[in-house]
Structure 1
Amino acid sequence: MNFDLRTVNVTRYITPLREGGSLPALADADDDFKYVLKFRGAGHGVKALIAEFLGGQIAKYLGLPVPELVFATLDEAFGRTEGDEEIQDLLKFSQGLNLGLHYLSGAITYDAAANDCEALLASKIVWLDAYITNVDRTFKNTNLLIWKKELWLIDHGAAFYFHHSWNNWETTALTPFALIKDHVLLPKASKLDKAHQEFTAKLNNDILHKIVDQIPEDWLQWEEQDITPEEIKSVYTQFLTSRLANAELFLKQAEDARKTLI
């Protein structure tokens, strides 16, 4: 599988998509498509982009429905005419390489009370989120869309939460991930073991290394920590490979959490 992403140039900032620290936005690019842009100048900076990139690439490899990811370049002059000072600052601090998700025009937010999700797909999404320690796919904020009558996964920027402190990643890699109890699809995830068998057979250390290796060098210059880009990549790779090797830990946590719901 080819893990390379296309690179587009952002041509027009259209509108912010929701309130909050990350301030994603809808924008046009020079390939005549619209994208949901995630900005390096937002709250969690490049670490949120790395989480989005890794989560999206792993999901894509596993055959889960995710919008196309692209690298999105913001020119130095971009946003100078923006009237909102907060947005102008965001664009100024986001010059260079950002991340875009293909915009699913007309999509609606998944509602667990109104929308269904087939048991195996629900189980696969729960497994993925437990694997990448994604804390943000809850009833309050599903990060799921219905587009053309199909379910799509968006927004993995809150995954890999260990990297915000960069301490004890070895311990986090082996956590059962108790927060899976809040997952919006857990009540529907009755085939967790089948999802586990499929995904642990499909993922391997070589694939994970290739995905991590595609993180742009530009996102690995961390001033707050004395660590090289190669060392950063090595930690992400070790985190993912260790977590995969011990996947029974978070599988059992998810299964036990589900038993309390049914």
Structure 2
Amino acid sequence: MLTEVTATRYVTPLREGGSLPGIVEADDLGTYVMKFTGAGQGRKTLVAEVICGRLARRLGLRVPELVQIQLDPVIGLGEPDQEVQELLKASGGLNLGMDYLPGSIGFDPLAYQVDPAEAGRVVWFDALVNNVDRSWRNPNTLVWHGDLWLIDHGATMIWQHNWPTAQAAAAKPYNAHDHVLAPFAPDVPAAAAELAPLVTEELLTEVAADVPDAWLTDEPGFETPDALRRAYVDVLLPRAATIHERISMDAPLKAPSAPPGWLAERLPPTHPTKKSEGK
């Protein structure tokens, strides 16, 4: 289960996100990016964040730790921004927090190299959960301490918005033409061979169990939260075995050959730098 903390201070909104997430401090002395149940996208985005974030971490991908955050709406009374105040008031109770990565920067494919193995693992995972929101337009990736971190999985598993057609929707191919890591020649077959066997019924059941009951109740067609959890397992399990066969991707674009100076020292000796190119 996710660790539960209580928000003690709302710090600032993050206006880059459509759901207006915010940075908060909690009673465990941690700082988190908080995603609210009262946001317009609804609680299903939080369900997607939990299932995908926890699954990615279990598969060895870098995703910030997730927690449950209890929010007292009284925190919003002192907020001068009316939009933020209304969001806090509408989100009393259980919300989702993502560990804040201080000093991280947004991933730029023109300034940062990703090896084909790591790129393949990310593309395969995004195909598994049908992530339509990791494109060059909106990478939803960060660089922290020199490593690539994945964030924002609320736009995944779109089949959860229409369960009667979920199996058919999940069987569709994954279009990775504009994936932010497409230029790095992702080794998808190797990723599938490594990761698909790890996506077992037991693992998916454990991941789905991390979703709080409060976000799974009153879903049409499901009598209990556990029945709904099972629906996620039933879609993801068969998809993991074959999705690599249905990933479409253009021929990889040429990756950047002249990274900025701050990055050059992190690259393998075989990677050309501006200095070596001039020789």
TM score, norm. by length of structure 1 = 0.91
| Distance in 2 of aligned mates of 1:189 and 1:203 | 24
Task: Give the paired residue count.
Answer: 253
Q: Which residue matches 1:99?
A: 96
Query: Could you say what secondary structure the match of 1:234 adopts?
Result: helix
| Distance in 1 of aligned mates of 2:183 and 2:18 | 30
Instruction: Return the match for 1:128 from 125, 130, 133.
Output: 125
Instruction: Return the match for 1:257 from 217, 238, 249.
Output: 249
Instruction: Return the match for 1:227 from 215, 222, 229.
Output: 222
**Partner letter of residue 203 of structure 1?**
V
CA pair 115-69 structure 1, distance change in 2 beyond 3 A: same
Worse-matched range after superposition: 105-114 or 200-209: 200-209
| Distance in 2 of aligned mates of 1:251 and 1:261 | 20
Q: Does 1:244 align with 2:240?
A: yes
Assess if the C-alpha contact under 8 Å between 2:52 and 2:153 holds in 1: yes
**Partner letter of residue 139 of structure 1?**
W
Q: Which residue matches 2:212?
A: 216
**Displacement of 1:226:** 5.0
Query: Could you say what secondary structure the match of 1:211 adopts?
Result: helix
Q: Give unpaired runs (5+ residues) of structure 1.
A: none
Assess if the C-alpha contact under 8 Å between 1:187 and 1:258 holds in 2: no
Query: Could you say what secondary structure the match of 1:182 adopts?
Result: coil
Q: Which residue matches 1:117?
A: 114
**Displacement of 1:227:** 3.0
| Distance in 2 of aligned mates of 1:261 and 1:146 | 21
Assess if the C-alpha contact under 8 Å between 1:120 and 1:195 holds in 2: yes
Instruction: Return the match for 1:190 from 186, 190, 194.
Output: 186
**Partner letter of residue 185 of structure 1?**
L
**Partner letter of residue 252 of structure 1?**
E
| Distance in 2 of aligned mates of 1:94 and 1:83 | 17
Query: Could you say what secondary structure the match of 2:76 adopts?
Result: coil
Q: Which residue matches 1:166?
A: 163
CA pair 105-260 structure 1, distance change in 2 beyond 3 A: closer
**Partner letter of residue 23 of structure 1?**
L
Query: Could you list the per-position Cα deviations for residues 164-193 of structure 1 after superposition, in whole angstroms to 9, with x for gaps in the alignment?
Result: 233400101211122x22211022143211
Assess if the C-alpha contact under 8 Å between 2:184 and 2:252 holds in 1: no
Assess if the C-alpha contact under 8 Å between 2:34 and 2:97 holds in 1: yes
**Displacement of 1:260:** 6.8
Please, what is the CA RMSD of the aligned residues? 1.7
Assess if the C-alpha contact under 8 Å between 1:48 and 1:157 holds in 2: yes
Percent of pairs with identical residues = 42
Assess if the C-alpha contact under 8 Å between 2:8 and 2:27 holds in 1: yes
**Partner letter of residue 159 of structure 1?**
T
**Displacement of 1:105:** 0.4
Assess if the C-alpha contact under 8 Å between 1:110 and 1:144 holds in 2: yes
Query: Could you say what secondary structure the match of 2:38 adopts?
Result: coil
Assess if the C-alpha contact under 8 Å between 1:173 and 1:242 holds in 2: no
Q: Which residue matches 2:70?
A: 73
Query: Could you list the per-position Cα deviations for residues 41-87 of structure 1 after superposition, in whole angstroms to 9, with x for gaps in the alignment?
Result: 11211100011101101100001111111111102422122122211
| Distance in 2 of aligned mates of 1:85 and 1:222 | 30
